[in-house]
Amino acid sequence: MKKTKKLSVILMLFFVSSLLTAATADVSAQFKPQRLDDRKAYRPTPKGFGMPIAKVIYPNGVDKGILRCQPGKMGILVNCVVKNMPLLLQTDPRLDSDVTDSGPNGCFDTSLVTVILTALANRTTTQPLKGRTKEFVEVPASKTAPKEVEQLSWYYRIGKQYWADEKDKNGKRIQPLYLSEAHADLGGKIKEPCDPYTWADCKDATSQFGHTFYKYADGNENWTNEYITKKMRDGYAVLIAYERFKPSIVVEKGRKFVKFVPAGLHKVVFSGYQLGHKYPLLINDVGSGQQFRVRLGTDLFVRKFAPGNSATAETVGETDFRYPTHIKTPTFMEYEGMANGINDQVQFIVHIDAIKLN
C-alpha cells in the first residue's frame, strides 16, 4: 500500500468514529489507530476533566491576520485568539434528531467543521465559493438551533450518506467534506498531483487561495508550543488528534518502567495562545464544548508515577518509559490542572490537520 493511501486510511478511521454510537465496551485492550475494526475508542472529553475557562475574547484587541490580540509591552502581541472561531459541542442537544447518534464519537467531524468555518470567515478574498462548500456555508439557522449547529448536523448527515454507500449525481460515492475540498471550492488550481475531492488524497494542497495539510506522527515531527503558535500566526486554523493513555509503573525481569494502557482517542482545535502562561495554548475542546489552556511537551519524567493504584509515587528517570509501539512521538498534550496527581492520564499526539485560506 502506498504511503499516501495509508495516511488516507488512518484519517478515515478518525472520521468513522463520528458515525458510531457511544461505546460501552472496554477499550483498554491494545487499541492501535491503524486498526479499522476497533472504533469504540473514540470518546469525548469526560465530564469534569480539566479546568475549563471562560471563552477568551479581546473586544478591543488588535487584529493581525486570523488573530485578535491583546497588545503587550512595546506593542508585542503575546496574547491572541483566533477570530470568528465557533465553540462547538459534538453532542449539542440542538442537533437534528436524525444525526444525534453521530455526536458521541463526532470529535473529528466537529473539529473539521470548526476549522473550515473559521478559515472561510477569516479569508480576505472575494472569490465566490462553489460546490459542497457553498452548500455548507449557506445552511441556515433553524428555529431550534443556530447556524453553526445546523451546519454540524449537515456534516454529520453527509457522513451517514457515506457509510450508507450513497452515490452523488455522477455515480461517485459521497465522501465527507475535507479541508482540501473546501480549499478547492474557491476555484484555484491545486498544484500538487492529488485529487482534493477525494478524502485525504492530498497530504498537501496549495493554490493561490491558500494551503491545507495533514501529517501523521512518524517520529520526525517537532510539534511544540512554538510550532503551533507560529502556525496560528501564519494564518492556519489547526486541529490536533491525541490518544489517551493510563500510565503506571510495572516491573518486568527486575526492571522498573512506566507502561501505558490505551484509554481512547480525541480531537480538539487550537483557538489561541497566551505566551506568558505555563499552559500557553488555548484549545476549543469539542468533546465538552469548553475552552481550556494546554501545553505540548515531552517531559513526562517530571510527573508522578506509582505501581497500580498505589498512593506513593516512585522515582522515574527520563529513560524509564515503555512507549506504545504505534505511538511515533513522545510529544503529549497536557491540560492545565491535570498533571499534578499520581498516574494522571497522558495524551500522546497522533496527527495534525490545518487549513489556511487567503
pLDDT band at 44 (very low <50, low <70, confident <90, very high): confident
pLDDT band at 221 (very low <50, low <70, confident <90, very high): confident
* Overall average pLDDT of the 270-298 stretch: 97
Dihedral sign computed on CA atoms, order 185, 188, 191, 193: positive
Over 80: is that where the pLDDT of 315 sits? yes
pLDDT at residue 22, rounded to an integer:
34
Mean pLDDT of 128-135: 97
Would you say residue 25 lies in a domain?
no
Identify whether 343 is part of a domain.
yes
Q: How confident is the model at residue 89 (pLDDT cuts 50, 70, 90)?
A: very high
Asked if 281 and 229 count as a contact pair (C-beta separation under 8 A), the reply is yes
Q: Work out the average pLDDT over 3-31.
A: 40
| Lowest mean pLDDT across 34-38, 92-96, 331-335 | 34-38
Helix residue ranges per DSSP H, the chain: 3-16, 107-122, 131-137, 147-163, 179-184, 225-233
Band (pLDDT 50/70/90 cuts) for residue 162 is confident
Q: Count of CB atoms within 10 A of residue 200's CB?
A: 23
pLDDT digits over 188-205, tens only? 999 999 999 998 899 999
Rounded Cα distance between 298 and 134, Å, is: 41
Where residue 300 falls among pLDDT bands split at 50, 70, 90?
very high
Residue 274 lies in a domain: yes
Please name which of 320, 336, 297 lies closest in space to residue 247, comparing C-alpha atoms: 320
Confidence check: pLDDT of 28 > 50: no
Q: Is residue 159 part of a domain?
A: yes
Is 226 a domain residue? yes
Quickly tell me which residue has 478511521 as its cell. Answer: 13
Domain span holding position 276: 3-20+30-357
3-state secondary structure of 143: coil
Q: How far apart are CA 111 and CA 152, in angstroms?
A: 10
Please state whether 65 falls in left (phi above 0), alpha (psi between -120 and 50) or beta: left
Q: Quickly state the pLDDT bin for 10 (edges 50, 70, 90).
A: very low
Mean pLDDT of 219-232: 95
CA–CA separation, 287 vs 238, rounded Å?
16
Per-residue pLDDT at 46: 87
Mean pLDDT, residues 5-13: 47
Cell 483566533 belongs to residue: 82
pLDDT recorded at residue 41: 58
- Give residue-wise pLDDT tens across range 172-190: 899 999 999 999 999 999 9
- pLDDT of residue 5 exceeding 50: no
Provide the domain count of the chain.
1
pLDDT at 43: 77
